Structure formats: C-alpha cells, structure tokens
Amino acid sequence: MTKRVPVPLLVPAVLGLIFLILPLVGLLARTPWATLPARLAEPRVVEALRLSLLTSSLATVLCLLLGVPLAWLLARVEFPGRRLVRALITVPLVLPPVVGGIALLLALGRRGLVGQWLDTTFGITLPFTTAGVVIAESFVALPFLVIAVEGALRGADSRYEEAAATLGSTRWTTFTHVTLPLVAPGIAAGAVLCWARALGEFGATITFAGNYPGVTQTMPLAVYQTMESGDLEGAVVLSLILLVVSVAILAGLRDRWLTAP
C-alpha cells in the first residue's frame, strides 16, 4: 500500500487551486496600498458597504422566515407534485440573475402582475427602493438556504420527532422543540451561504432595483460603476473590501458551523 498521491489527480488538483487563487492575487497585486486608507474613507464607499451589509442581512432574515418552513415541507410532508416544487425552487439557482431581475420587474414592477396591484392599492412600488434590493437578493439567495436546510432535515434522525409525537407532542411543538434544535447547524450553514450569495448579488439588483448611491447602489454595483467610469484603481479598492468582508465572515463562522464532520 503506497500513500503517494497519483499524478493524474495531483496535477489537475493543483491547477484547479491556482485557477481559483490567481485572480485574487491579481487583485492584490493591483491594489493601490498607498492611497488605500483615503479611498476607504470616501463617503460613497462607506455608504455602499453599509447598504450591502444591511440588505444582505435583511435578505437572510427574510430567507430564513420563508425558507426554513419551505424546506421542512419538502423534507417532511408527502404531497403531490413535491418533485416539481423542488425543481422549481432550484430555478433561481441556475437562472442568470439578470433574467431574474427582469422577471421580478414583470411580476413586482410598477406595471407588473402583482406590482400594479401593490401600487394602486397600497401605493407601494418596489423598484428603486432599498426594499427592492432586499427582494432581488432574497430571490437569488433563497434556494441556497432551502437546499441546505432540506439536506440537514433529511440527514437528521427522524426517530426523535417520532418519539416526541408518540409522547403527544403536536407537529408544531415537535418542530420548534425537537426539529429546529436538531438541524440548527444546517440552518446556520444555509444562512451563511445565503448571506454570501446576497452580498455578491449584482444582476437582479441592478435590473430590478436600479442604481442610486445610498438607496440601491450596493457594493457590487459600486464596483461595476467605478470600473465602467474608467477608475480601475477605485474598482480594485471596492473589490478588495468586498473580498475581505466575505472572507472574514466566512472564516469567522466556519469553525463554529461549517466544519465538515
């Protein structure tokens, strides 16, 4: 028995690693370290970062409220068309986000299917608002949470829930007192994935919510606009912030929740 790693596996593995890391090295190499502190303090940078953190956190809360019950339904309740529902949930996962943004406009925009009614009945219009950003981010991030939580629910030992049921617990009590604590790590992992996806959201946001500093211009939009205006250095600084924030949060949570068994 030899422990040597076979070359046909090692070479592509190393190439894959380089492929993933090289662009980040490129970003660091072009970072203007000297002017970095001044750039970081620019109001538009602070504003975009604040908006990004706020909207992605709100989107994660919304996804938890809607996604955990949805995952439970898929994992624990037999109903006709369950496979179809599961397939539909994964659509936003494979859909280009720009297409998602257009779809959101046609559904929730001022002339959209539901948006028209929201506007005439309540005077609510979602495009060009911070709420619109949260909706766009939730739309693309929700499948990540549902899939992660459903996986955790399927992996959890259902005998605990059955024992609770035989002891007279209602399905709701079982859910809150047995199921939720049991799959808490899975929910946390799903929430982190969901948050990271929401933080990086670009296409659906710019299409559905537009682009205005302080209201709908999140970090990815600010990066794009800065790059488009020819300020490469500014775009690099904004990208670096986004990179540091996401890596820091993922690293911080990894040890607690995301460690593989």
Contact partners, residue 175, CB within 8 Å, separation at least 6? 72
Nearer Cβ to other proteins (74/105): 105
Q: Is 229 helix (H, G, I), strand (E, B) or coil?
A: coil
User: Which region holds residue 141: left if phi is over 0, alpha if psi is between -120 and 50, else beta?
Assistant: alpha
CB of 121 to other proteins, least distance (A): 16
Instruction: Please give the size of the binding site for other proteins, defined by CB under 8 A.
Output: 24
**Segment contacting other proteins (CB under 8 A): 12-20, 82-90, 212-220, 237-245?**
212-220
Residue among 71 and 206 whose Cβ is closer to other proteins: 206
Query: Can you say whether the dihedral through the CA atoms of 257, 48, 94, 108 is positive or negative?
Result: positive
**96 forms part of the interface with other proteins (CB under 8 A):** yes
Is 191 exposed, middle or buried, given 0-12, 13-18 or 19+ CB atoms closer than 10 A? buried
Q: Which of 59, 64, 105, 191 binds other proteins (CB under 8 A)?
A: 105
Q: Is residue 44 at the binding interface for other proteins, with CB under 8 A as the rule?
A: no
Give helix 219-228 / helix 43-76 axis angle, nearest 10°: 130
- 90 lies in the site for other proteins, by CB under 8 A: no
Q: Find the binder of other proteins among 92, 127, 143, 220 (CB under 8 A).
A: 127
Are the CB atoms for 162 and 84 separated by under 8 Å?
no
Q: Give the one residue of 9, 41, 77, 228 binding other proteins; rule: CB under 8 A.
A: 228
Q: Are 245 and 196 in contact (CB under 8 A)?
A: no
Cα 60 from Cα 144, distance rounded (Å): 11
Decide if residue 203 touches other proteins (CB under 8 A). Answer: yes
Q: Is 190 in the site for other proteins (CB under 8 A)?
A: no
Residue 206 near other proteins by CB under 8 A: yes
Contact between 78 and other proteins by CB under 8 A: the answer reads: no
| 32 is a contact residue toward other proteins (CB under 8 A) | no
Interface residue with other proteins among 32, 47, 182, 224 (CB under 8 A) is: 224
Q: Is residue 43 a contact point for other proteins (CB under 8 A)?
A: no
Q: How far apart are CA 36 and CA 234, in angstroms?
A: 9
Q: Rounded to whole angstroms, how far apart are CA atoms 99 and 161?
A: 41
How far, in Å, CA of 167 to CA of 68, rounded?
25
In the set 55, 56, 179, 225, which binds other proteins (CB under 8 A)?
A: 225
Element (H, E) at 254: none
Residue 110 within binding range of other proteins, rule CB under 8 A: yes
Interaction between residue 216 and other proteins (CB under 8 A)? yes
CA angle 185, 157, 163 (to 5 degrees): 120
CB 104 within 8 A of CB 136: yes
Pick 74 or 104: Cβ nearer other proteins: 104
User: With binding defined as CB under 8 A, does residue 210 bind other proteins?
Assistant: yes
Q: Which residues here bind other proteins, judged by CB under 8 A?
A: 96, 98, 105, 109-111, 125, 127-128, 203, 206, 210-213, 215-216, 224-225, 227-230, 232
